[in-house]
Chain A
Amino acid sequence: KAGVTQTPRYLIKTRGQQVTLSCSPISGHRSVSWYQQTPGQGLQFLFEYFSETQRNKGNFPGRFSGRQFSNSRSEMNVSTLELGDSALYLCASSLDPTGTWGNTIYFGEGSWLTVV
Chain B
Amino acid sequence: QQQVKQSPQSLIVQKGGIPIINCAYENTAFDYFPWYQQFPGKGPALLIAIRPDVSEKKEGRFTISFNKSAKQFSLHIMDSQPGDSATYFCAASSGGNEKLTFGTGTRLTIIP
Binding site for B on A (CB under 8 A): 4, 31, 33, 35, 42-45, 48, 50, 55-56, 58, 90, 92, 94, 97-110
Contacts and interface: CB of A to CB of B under 8 A. Distances in A.
A22 B103 CA distance: 26
Interface string B26-60: 00000110101000011111100101000000000
Interface residues of B, number: 25
A94 B104 CA distance: 23
A99 B96 CA distance: 4
Interface centre among B36, B98, B102 (most CB of A within 10 A): B98
A26 to B, nearest CB: 12
Contacts of B103: 42
Interface in B67-112: 89, 91, 95-105
Contacts of B41: 109
